[in-house]
């Protein structure tokens, strides 16, 4: 199941899920930091965060009523399954993303 999910979510979506799991902050700040540290265009990260929200994996409120981003129960389950597919609990976001790409 983890391998199937790994092929369903792209590397940026997996990276966002993994990062949000460890952080309590606004989505905009997390995406800006990922943009700065990974060089991924901010607009790409923002689009992928929106997709994750629409899939019910993230919740970060609205533009009018923003809240700190959090994984939903479904988001935690998907991340656990992705890690299971990668072969370990608590693996680094890079390893989960590599599994999503099929590099391992």
Residue-wise pLDDT for 72-104, tens only, equals: 999 999 999 999 887 654 555 565 555 444 444
Determine contact, residues 2/82, Cβ cutoff 8 Å.
yes
Q: List the end-to-end C-alpha distance of the chain, in Å, as a whole number.
A: 16
CA angle 13, 15, 20 (to 5 degrees): 95
- Residue 59, helix vs strand vs coil: strand
- DSSP conformation letters of 61-86: E-SSSEEEEEE-HHHHHHHHHHHHHH
Q: What are phi and psi of 66, to 5 degrees?
A: -75, 145
> Whole-model pTM?
0.78
Residue 63's pLDDT band (boundaries 50, 70, 90)?
A: confident
Residue-wise pLDDT for 16-54, tens only, equals: 999 999 999 999 999 999 999 999 999 999 999 999 999
Provide the CATH topology of domain 2-96: Arc Repressor Mutant, subunit A (1.10.10)
């Amino acid at each position: 199941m983890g391998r199937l999910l790994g092929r369903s979510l792209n590397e940026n979506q997996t990276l966002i899920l993994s990062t949000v799991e460890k952080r309590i902050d606004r989505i905009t700040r997390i995406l800006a930091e990922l943009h700065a540290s990974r060089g991924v265009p901010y607009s790409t990260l923002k689009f992928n965060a929106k997709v994750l929200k629409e899939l019910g994996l993230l919740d970060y409120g609205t533009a009018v009523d923003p809240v700190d981003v959090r994984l939903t129960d479904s988001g935690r389950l998907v991340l656990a399954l992705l890690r299971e597919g990668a072969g370990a609990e608590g693996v680094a976001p890079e390893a989960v993303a590599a599994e999503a790409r099929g590099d391992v």
